[in-house]
Amino acid sequence: MTEQKKEKSRDFNQLLRDNGLKVTPHRLRVLDELTHKNAAVSQPDLEKTIGAEIDRVTLYRILSSFEDQGIVHKIFDLQGTATYAICNSDCRKDHHQDQHVHFICSVCNSVYCLDEVPFPYIPLPKNFTLHALALNAVGLCENCQKEE
Ligand SMILES: [Zn+2]
Ligand SMILES: [Zn+2]
Ligand SMILES: [Zn+2]
């Protein structure tokens, strides 16, 4: 967990450059916002927090370029809203390696990346090749558990 935290606060300037993106204040701002809490951030929430600084179209472009470059991955919450989380460092352009369980809270709708939960082995029929696997766990998150 500590390792991951460190990873997430890695130098954003470097992260952008490593992925062939120019360092701009807007891009840095979005990265900063995406790493604020330990849950994924939805597009509407991003619009709420940084909408005054970055217009919707620009935000959308930044998010899709981040996704293309393997910087963030998209998870859909229970309402089907796109949420974004920072990728692990193994993700590359057009090749995401985020093989981890996503936990979605049924009360607050927060999406968490559970990197430390082992991914199940999926025995596929012969001649089938696996390219991606999405696994969502739904339940009560830590915060909502406390409030009950
Ligand atoms: Zn990724
Ligand atoms: Zn919750
Ligand atoms: Zn994730």
In eight-state DSSP terms, residue 90 is T
Question: Which sign, positive or negative, has the C-alpha torsion 6, 71, 29, 102?
Answer: negative
What pLDDT does residue 9 have? 46
Note the ligand closest to the C-alpha atom of 142.
2
CA of 147 to the centre of ligand 1 (A): 32
Instruction: For ligand 1, an ion, list residues with CB under 5 A.
Output: 73, 87, 91, 96, 98
CA of 97 to the centre of ligand 3 (A): 10
State the total domains in the chain: 1
Question: In CATH, what number is assigned to the domain containing residue 12?
Answer: 1.10.10.10
Torsional class of 15: left (φ above 0), alpha (ψ -120 to 50), beta (otherwise): alpha
Closest CA to 14 of 35, 34, 31: 31
Cα–Cα distances in Å, from 27 out to 12, 126, 141? 9, 44, 29
CA of 128 to the centre of ligand 3 (A): 25
Q: Which amino acid is at 117?
A: V
What pLDDT does residue 97 have? 85
Note the ligand closest to the C-alpha atom of 70.
1
What's the whole-model pTM score? 0.84
The answer to whether 22 and 62 are in contact (CB under 8 A) is no
Residue-range definition of the domain harbouring residue 46: 2-147
What pLDDT does residue 1 have? 42
The answer to whether 40 and 112 are in contact (CB under 8 A) is yes
Report the side by side order of strands in the sheet with 136-139: 111-114, 101-105, 136-139
Note the ligand closest to the C-alpha atom of 102.
3
Averages of pLDDT over each 10 residues, the chain, 148 residues: 46 92 96 92 95 95 96 94 91 87 96 89 92 90 85
